[in-house]
Amino acid sequence: MTTAAAPEAIDVLGEAPSSHRLRDRSFVLLLAALTSVALIVLAVLLIDTGIDGIPQISISFLTNFPSAFPAKAGIQSAITGTLWLMGVVTFVIVPLGVASALYLEEYADGTRWWNRIIEVNIQNLAAVPSIVYGILGLAYIVRGPLSLGRTVLAGGLTLSLVVLPVVIITGREAIRAVPPSIREGALALGATRWQAIWRQILPASIPGIATGVILSISRAIGETAPLILVGAATFVAFNPTGLDSPFTALPLQIFSWISQPNDQFRLLAAAAIIVLLVILIVLNAVAIRLRNRYQQRW
């Protein structure tokens, strides 16, 4: 945007005084330096974790169960636990998130107070610290009304609550991106409101919705704080067998290894971090591909 304006001014008015140019030059450098700090930290983090963790990764590390001996410890139960959680989260957030987004975009009359409450509420929920959801999960899902115990289902439900606002917000954006002419065309041909949504609007917005869902799942499986409150309190050396099974997950296993004073365990934590990051990068790559490949330009 701005690139167009500056050259023109120079063409017309000639060069700025050299003191100006010097200060301008150093200002750009300052901004570029400020921008690069966060990127450098990210690079150092990845390199440092890679140096610590990559030598630890082996077939036995991936297939062994946690152990009191670093040399025998592995992450099989953490990986299966994370996969189970992903399953529960997907199962909960897809219908609930898409239905909420559809309601807010297609049905809600934004001038009504109850719709405004829902809307502001979702914005606020998106910024509630995840550990607060952990407290809610501990009080109402693990104990209290649902009393599910520290199980896969309780962990998955709690994580679903954490990411649900994000799914709704991205889902709304995807639905809003479908031009009104599609909806109007369907209605003009005699479709009912739901027929227009189900056969025209939803299919057109699926790539956008799917991108949001995948990104939410990748956020959910990296969440640690809520799982500390609702996850396994003890050492889990077995794979979950069902929704009512105790579990551990990659971020929990990482946290538990970081908390060990023994340096060997910290290296294992680095290795588990790499496995977690690889899963996240794969999920994100899928999301970006989906977005680029199927997104229609209207």
Q: Which of residues 256-285 bind other proteins (CB under 8 A)?
A: 258-259, 266, 269-270, 273, 276-277, 280, 284
Choose one: 13-21, 63-71, 202-210, 238-246; the region binding other proteins (CB under 8 A).
13-21
Give the start-end residues of each E strand in 174-220: none
Closest approach of Cβ 117 to other proteins, in Å?
A: 7
Residue 202 interacting with other proteins (CB under 8 A): no
Residue 173 binds other proteins (CB under 8 A): no
Nearer to other proteins, 59 or 90 (CB): 90
Asked whether position 153 contacts other proteins by CB under 8 A, the answer is: no
Residue number with CB closer to other proteins (59 or 175): 175
Interface with other proteins by CB under 8 A: which range of 79-87, 202-210, 217-225, 235-243? 217-225
**Tokens standing for residue 206:** 């699926």
Tallying the residues shown for the chain, one arrives at: 298
27-86 positions binding other proteins, by CB under 8 A:
27-28, 30-35, 37-39, 41-42, 44-45, 48-49, 52
User: Integer distance in angstroms from the first to the last C-alpha of the chain?
Assistant: 23
Residue 9 lies near other proteins (rule: CB under 8 A): yes
Selected binder of other proteins within 193, 199, 235, 282 (CB under 8 A): 193
Q: Is residue 120 a contact residue for other proteins (CB under 8 A)?
A: yes
User: According to CB under 8 A, which one of 58, 63, 195, 262 is a site residue for other proteins?
Assistant: 195
Strand partners, 264: none
Which residue in 221, 223, 179, 185 sits closest to 204, CA to CA?
Answer: 179
Q: What's the min distance (Å) between Cβ of 76 and other proteins?
A: 19
Print burial letters for 142-154: b (CB count within 10 Å at least 16), e (below 16): beeeeebebbbbb
Q: Which of residues 123-142 bind other proteins (CB under 8 A)?
A: 123-125, 127-136, 138-140
Amino acid code (one letter) for 272: A
Phi, psi of 246 (to 5 degrees): -65, 160
| Ramachandran region, residue 190 (left: φ > 0; alpha: ψ -120 to 50; beta: rest) | left
Residue of 115, 106, 100, 108 lying closest to 195 (CA atoms): 106
Q: Is 165 in the site for other proteins (CB under 8 A)?
A: yes
- Report the distance separating Cα 123 and Cα 113, nearest Å: 15
